[in-house]
Amino acid sequence: MGACAFDLSHYRELLEAAKAGGYSWARFDRIPQPGDLYVRHDVDLSLEAAVEMARLEHELGARATYFLMTESSFYNLDSRVGHYAQRQLREWGHAVGLHAVHPRAELDDRFDPVIAWHNPDAEYMSEPIVGAVNVMEPPYFTPGHYRSDSNAHWREGCPHEQLATGEFEWLQLLVHPEIWVYDGETMRETMESLLAAKRAEWLEHLANDRIDLT
Ligand SMILES: [Zn+2]
Ligand SMILES: [Zn+2]
């Protein structure tokens, strides 16, 4: 296995490692059992990236939980791509939770009863939520059983090797799709790639809106 790049080919290797390690694809509907892998995706910036990652997981027989925002500045669940993304995530067997902005934990029938706060403060990060699982409450969030790719940096190292050898009793793995789907070695470069993709998407939306760009 090569360097631990944040790209889809290494993401594929991560999933293959989890399979080799004998992990099962858990969702946040029951407390952790030995061998569980909770693959969690906080969708902060791009539904297109989420769909691409979800398709790859589906190809490999992996299942994840996607946390979608209802009050994002970057995407709209009621747009065409929003509806497409929600339909495809379900069709490919993934769970869908709410990526909520504190203090609004407003679930509706688009979501399973599971919430991940967006950019939480320490005071409420691990507090229980009435009527829903908070992914950052114990036992789902337990030191030693959690890895995150936040800002394209594994604080405790890329987990592929420990997954392959089954070293984690169980694990919650937080992966942000846009970091892996868009090219770039630094967060800055990756965001430039995302902006270029957004520009192309917007040009298409403009054309679909019959705006004359000639
Ligand atoms: Zn790795
Ligand atoms: Zn977030």
Q: What does the pLDDT look like over 79-112, one tens digit per residue?
A: 999 999 999 999 999 999 999 999 999 999 999 9
Instruction: Determine the distance separating the centroid of ligand 2 and the alpha carbon of 114, expressed in angstroms.
Output: 14
Instruction: Determine the distance separating the centroid of ligand 2 and the alpha carbon of 144, expressed in angstroms.
Output: 21
| Exposure string over 28-50, b if 16+ CB within 10 A, otherwise e | beeebeeebbbbbbbbbbbbbbb
Q: Are strands 36-42 and 24-26 parallel, antiparallel or unpaired?
A: parallel
Q: Is residue 76 within 8 Å of residue 82, measured between CB atoms?
A: yes
Ligand nearest to the CA of 41: 2
Q: What pLDDT is recorded for position 3?
A: 79
Instruction: Determine the distance separating the centroid of ligand 2 and the alpha carbon of 67, expressed in angstroms.
Output: 9
**Residue type at 115 in one-letter notation:** I
Instruction: Determine the distance separating the centroid of ligand 1 and the alpha carbon of 115, expressed in angstroms.
Output: 27
> Is it true that the peptide bond before 139 is cis, omega within 30 degrees of 0?
yes
Q: What pLDDT is recorded for position 1?
A: 47
What are the Cα distances from residue 10, in Å, to 90, 94, 206?
24, 20, 34
State how far the Cα of 163 lies from the Cα of 143, in Å rounded to an integer: 16
Q: What pLDDT is recorded for position 2?
A: 53
Dig out the tokens for 79 from the structure.
């747009």
Q: Is residue 66 within 8 Å of residue 84, measured between CB atoms?
A: no
Q: What is the pTM of this model?
A: 0.97
- Separate counts of helices (H) and strands (E) for the chain: 7, 8
Dig out the tokens for 22 from the structure.
């004998």
Q: In residues, how long is the chain?
A: 214
Q: How many CA atoms lie less than 13 Å away from 61 in the CB half-sphere?
A: 7
- Ranges of residues in the chain with a pLDDT under 50 are 1
> Which residues are close to ligand 1, an ion, with C-beta < 5 A?
4, 158, 160
